Each structure stands twice: as C-alpha cells, then as structure tokens.
Structure 1
C-alpha cells in the first residue's frame, strides 16, 4: 500500500525523513486507547483530512479509491505521548559538572536538536522543556522544530529556571569565589518580589512559553540541602501573578514539604518531583487542581548512581541516596489520594529516548496501565492547555498518533518500544510487524 511504502522509505532513510498524510488517509488500528472515557477499543478506523482527524469509526471501514491506507491492525494505537519534564540540551554523566566550563551555547543547541529527534522517535510528540542553562537552547530548538528545520516534538519551553541566591538553579553554586558572581534576574537568580517580576518578564521577552522555578533545594546541584524552602511567600506570589498575567504557567521543582506547600499556595500549575509531599499539600493540590509530575525515572537513576563510587560529588551523592528511594512511595500515596498526575521523566538526567521507561515505574507504583497512558496524553494536554487540539484521538484533533506492537495492559514495557509515530499528520517512524 502506498502509505506504508512511503513510511517504510522514511524509516530506511534514517528516521529524519518523513511522510505527510494525504487528504483521505485511513489508519486501521487493531486496538485503540480511548482516553475519555478511558477504555480500550477494538478494530477501529481513523480517518484523516490533511493533518487532522476527521473521524474515528468502529470496525475497519472501506477506504475511498484515492485514500492512503496505513495498516496498524496488529498494533495498539493511542494519542501522541507527552513528557512534561525534559532537558533536551543536557544528559547527565560523571563529567557533567565540567561541561559548564567547556561547552558553549551552540554546543547545547546542537545537543538539543539531536535529543529532540530521539524523543520524537520514542513516541513523544509534545514535551515541556523545563529549564536550560545554556541561554536559550530550548527556545532555539523549539523554533527550529516549528519551522521544520529540525525533527522533534512540539516543545513548550521555559528557558532558564528562576532561583534565589544559592538556590538549586543558581549556576554559580560550588564554584571558586571569583566565579561565584551574582547573575541577577536576567540570569535567573532573584531576591525579593521586584527582582522576581523582572525575571519573569525577561523570560517573556526571551520567548519562553512558561516559567520554571526551583521552590526547594535539589539533588544534583552542588549545594548542601536537597529540600529546604528557597523562596519567601512574597517572591512566589510575585512570580506566579506576573507569569499568569502574561499567560505563562508556572512549574515548581520541589522536594521539601514547606517549600512545596508555599509554591502550591501561591498558585503554581505543577509540582515537579514532590518527594516529601505530605497530606496537607496533597489536599491543597487536589483542591486547586495543581498537577504532580512525579519523575520516577530520575529518582531511580540518582539512587542507582549514588551506589557508584566517585560518580557524584559527595555532597550530591548523599542527597541522591536519601531522596531517590522516597519518590516511588510519594507517587503511590499521591495517586491513591487523588492528586492530578501528569507524566514526566526529567529526561536529561537519564538518557534521551528512554522516556517510555516511566510507564513501568508508574504501574509498579500502583497506577493501572491505561491510566498511565492517560497521564501521558490527555493529562499532559490539560496541563499544557493544548487539550482543544491534542491529547485524544477524536474528530477535529491534530493527527498525533503513536502505536505499540503489544497490548500495554498485558505488558506495559511495550511503551518503551513505540513502533509507529505520526506527528501533525506526518509519519516519522513505522516499524510495525505486519503479516
């Protein structure tokens, strides 16, 4: 069939080549994950008109004479996946701390472009790029993808994080004194509500889509505490109010309880990690509709690396050994409590392209497989305010469609081996087994 042959050619050419769905494209799905209401459908036909879904029909409906046909009868189809926490320009390693002194912004931009393609080939058609420390690489790669210069997912970019002096995202932490300068609000370090407003407005000026703050200490920064609160209430209020005035959501990195609660109380849109989340915070998040992005992969990764002598500086290793193992338990409690959860991995800590490994961890933490898929589709669209066009397979929605070879209800690890990727009506990957 013409559609399949074109898709096969795209894969043969190395993945960056693509196939544009023609007006009148028909996709046959052996199974289809319907995310609202949540259930698995059998034997479905998806009709496309250009880059949008025109209909989803029960059974394998006959194509018109001129229709392109894509046969996914042996596969399980679902909406394009979304990762709410990635760092495209970075990938942690034992020498990562030296890269601040050896790499330039251009180097980070090239890395971001390479990793964007890996992310799309893993089935993730939209991501939130939550903080680059390379002065705009995330914004540059977003623009290049939008213009068709680079292959990758839709990128919702925050630019550099906002921190306080000595906070988790203060990039001068751990340096010798003459390099431990005050970078100020433009560089993402603020003290007081006036500087907080300036930092938000600077990111708006830079072209960011959203704001990322480090509400508490973190694991991988060379600073003593991994959980202390790092903003005062007036600073958080200034950030959130200013960001929301500009239509920019706010994501809050947070491990410790007090700083997390302050951020939720101030009105942030999501909490990233949430390691020491207590019931008081869960109640407030549930009441306000604040999303949790659990990043279980990052917790497991830092826990594993903390056992390798010399991989982390001792200050980092001690934090990783404590915080990493707690994240799964917090996820389970938050899920059972009913906190809204959106899929996110913190990829860039772990390797790019492995984003799908979070699914198995979420299921191990008690979430049902289809609920985990919904967290990476509809929930991601709701969090990013793109749910009018993305997050489900329905008439009028953009044609972001992925497929796996097996039934994720039986083997959730099939989500680590996405076999078919279409973004915006364009086929980028098709390695589905066909008889």
Structure 2
C-alpha cells in the first residue's frame, strides 16, 4: 500500500488543542501516524499551511439553490439532481467532506456520491421534512395550491402527518426510503409565510412516537425548532439536535444541558434571507419581516447557549443561502463567544460526534478516515478561510 505523508505543516487535530508542527501519514484511506519526522512513499509539501480534519456542515439542503417560488416550479423535474451535483462539488471545494442533508436529498443522490458517480461530501440524509397540516413544511398557498419546498416523488415521499398514527406511518415511510435521520418541525418557521416561528407544532405524544420509531431503527431525530416551547418539547422527547434554536430561554438551555442535546445554530440562515430579499428574490413580505425580527434574538440565544456550555455543531442551512458560502457561519459562531479553536471543534470532531462518526471522522488521529484539508495561512482567519483552502483529501484520495 502507498503511504502518503503530509510534511512541513502545522496540524489542528480536531480536539481543540492549538495547532502544532507535525507530519501526517495516510495509507489505504486511513490516517496511520501523526508526529515529527515521518516518511512515506509520496510526499505532500505543506510548508506554510495548516492541516485540518475534513470539515462538516450538519444542516444543508443540497437540492436547494436559493430562495423564491418561481424558479422551483419552472424548472424540469430532473433539473434538481444536476443542481445537487453542482452544489455538492461547490461544498466539497470548501474542505467540507461530510454533510447532513436536512430534507431534499434522496437515497439516489447519497448513493451517487458514495459510488463515485459525482463528487461531493459524504451524506447523511433526512429525505423529508415532517410537518403537520399548516406547519412549517406545509406548502399550502393562499391560492389554494400546494407547492412544498421539496416536491414529493418516489424517492422523497410526502412527510405530512397529523396525530400519532400518521406520525408513525410517515416515520416508517421515510426510514424505508433510506433516511439516516428523521427531521421534524416542532415550531413554525421564517420561510413558511403562514406559520410563526414562536408557535409550537406537534404534541409531545406525537414526538414521542417519532423518537421511538427512530430509535428502534438505530436512528436519531433532528428538530427544526425556533420557538421556546417547541424547543423544550423536542428536548423532552429525546430529540438529538435542535436546529436554529432562535428563542432559547434559561429553562430550554438547562434542559439541553441536562439531556445532552445538541444545538446547530445556522446563524447565517436569516442573514441569507435578508440578503436574498435585498437582491430582488420574490419572497412574501411576512418572510422578510420575520427574518429581520429574528436575526439579533437568534444571535443572543446562541451566545447564552455557548456561555452555558451547550454542545454546538456547525450547520448553515445552505440551499436557503448560496452553497459555497458555508464557511461564513464560522465567523458568526466566533461572534457569539466561541473561541476560534472551539469553532473549529464544532466544525470537526463535535460535528462528527453529533452525526455518529465519533472515532471515525473529525480528527487527525491514527485510525481515523483520511479526510484532510490543507489550508494556507492562519486557520483561524475565518473570513479568508474559503479562499485559503489549497487541497481537500477524502478517504485518502485528493478530491480538490
């Protein structure tokens, strides 16, 4: 087997320790050694660069390519899959080698990446967004027509549910379709014009059924949860991660700490909604108004969660905003009180732990899969990080 050694660089190993000079050796897709003076059959000169573990984005929508209703309904059905291939490649070039798709991508997209038909980060997929009638995932419009964000098809079954029995059926249907994680709306949202992000959706009984179904199949649940009570309902039901977490109060934070619940903040999401509106995207006035209302309270909630020690993993909601701008989230996390090292931990080893890849990805350590990102200059220069990515290796193969 060929041994490839990355020499002359500085290593951020994913644990939060300060970057330090070291070589990294990979063989057969696995990291076999990290240390000084190592050798190999092939050498990659990393002088002046820092090596990072492959980065994670725990909340993306790879079939989404921005906001607005008309582009979605005017494109041919299959066009979304070609857009997904482009979006995945754009994300991989940032050094993001693993993503969790939070509704939209089906099993075919995941398998196409795994089989090497298209280049992109490895995928965990939720397939559909479980929502009640009138909820955040309900595409009903005042005209009476229904246009959900992700149009159902055989690989992406309808995910609307009302009551425990329908929740059970939808959970099983999504799991059958290949879902690695189940995503549920426990509150309204910013992008759904007729729902309020502060209001709760689904009863505790419905959420208990969902979590039970997921756990029986060894799966976790992620919750679109923005309003306070909906966040608490999700945490009490045993949902693994809160996505967004806009209106956190002290009790919600205490519950998350007690239950070990993760927060995936997606701070850049409302920022991207506001930007899209300013750029002329066709968005309902209510959506733009809500985005402006939540931006600062969202940041304040994340600051308090960080200060309290809530477990944080990086996610962006890319697809709502442009793919390729994912790393903007790191600077926003830093502005919420996280140290630069903690931001990178949230984007590497902590994210790996959330997604069940602990001990496999997220660190530069022997025995871990060889996802390596070579970054020129200061790895804590989050504003310049995207432009400083020199090479991206995935499972020991140079991808970028």
**Whole-Å Cα distance in 1 between the matches of residues 265 and 318 of structure 2?**
12
- Which residue in 2 is equivalent to 1:79? 53
CA shift for structure 1 position 178? 5.5
TM-score of the pair, normalised by structure 2: 0.94
**Whole-Å Cα distance in 1 between the matches of residues 145 and 341 of structure 2?**
53
CA distance 1:328–1:206, shift in 2 (3 Å)? same
Other structure's SS at 1:54 match: strand
- Which residue in 1 is equivalent to 2:18? 40
CA distance 1:170–1:123, shift in 2 (3 Å)? same
1:181-219 CA-partner distances (Å, limit 9, x unpaired): 9x9x95111110010011110011111111011110011
- Which residue in 2 is equivalent to 1:141? 109
- Which residue in 1 is equivalent to 2:91? 119
Indicate which of 193, 205, 213 corresponds to 1:234: 205
- Which residue in 1 is equivalent to 2:188? 217
- Which residue in 2 is equivalent to 1:108? 80
Matching of residue 130 in structure 1 with residue 102 in structure 2 = yes
Asked if the contact 1:35/1:392 (under 8 Å) is kept, the reply is yes
**Whole-Å Cα distance in 1 between the matches of residues 29 and 280 of structure 2?**
50
**Whole-Å Cα distance in 2 between the matches of residues 138 and 73 of structure 1?**
41
Larger Rg: 1 or 2? 1
**Whole-Å Cα distance in 2 between the matches of residues 43 and 324 of structure 1?**
39
- Which residue in 2 is equivalent to 1:254? 225
- Which residue in 1 is equivalent to 2:273? 302
CA distance 1:74–1:60, shift in 2 (3 Å)? farther
Asked if the contact 1:25/1:68 (under 8 Å) is kept, the reply is yes
Asked if the contact 2:9/2:21 (under 8 Å) is kept, the reply is yes
Matching of residue 377 in structure 1 with residue 356 in structure 2 = no
Number of equivalences: 393
Other structure's SS at 1:177 match: coil
Other structure's SS at 1:366 match: coil
TM-score of the pair, normalised by structure 1: 0.86
Q: What's the RMSD between the two structures over aligned residues? A: 1.9
CA distance 1:377–1:209, shift in 2 (3 Å)? same
Matching of residue 30 in structure 1 with residue 9 in structure 2 = yes
Matching of residue 176 in structure 1 with residue 143 in structure 2 = yes
- Which residue in 2 is equivalent to 1:424? 395
**Whole-Å Cα distance in 2 between the matches of residues 305 and 424 of structure 1?**
36
Indicate which of 360, 364, 369 corresponds to 1:389: 360
**Whole-Å Cα distance in 2 between the matches of residues 56 and 138 of structure 1?**
37
1:147-194 CA-partner distances (Å, limit 9, x unpaired): 1100000000000110000100112x215225589x9x9511111001
CA distance 1:41–1:60, shift in 2 (3 Å)? farther
1:225-281 CA-partner distances (Å, limit 9, x unpaired): 222101111111111111111111111011100111101110101000000011101
Q: How does 1:90-101 map to 2 (within 5 A)?
A: 90-93=64-67, 96-101=68-73
Asked if the contact 2:225/2:244 (under 8 Å) is kept, the reply is yes
CA shift for structure 1 position 305? 4.3
CA shift for structure 1 position 30? 1.9
**Whole-Å Cα distance in 2 between the matches of residues 87 and 129 of structure 1?**
5
CA shift for structure 1 position 388? 2.2
CA shift for structure 1 position 89? 0.6
Asked if the contact 1:345/1:358 (under 8 Å) is kept, the reply is yes
**Whole-Å Cα distance in 2 between the matches of residues 178 and 346 of structure 1?**
26
Other structure's SS at 1:325 match: helix
Unaligned runs of 5+ in 1: 1-21, 430-435
**Whole-Å Cα distance in 1 between the matches of residues 141 and 92 of structure 2?**
35
- Which residue in 2 is equivalent to 1:433? none
1:116-144 CA-partner distances (Å, limit 9, x unpaired): 01111111000000011xxxx44221110
Indicate which of 234, 252, 255 corresponds to 1:263: 234
CA distance 1:178–1:353, shift in 2 (3 Å)? closer
**Whole-Å Cα distance in 2 between the matches of residues 208 and 372 of structure 1?**
28
CA distance 1:308–1:407, shift in 2 (3 Å)? closer
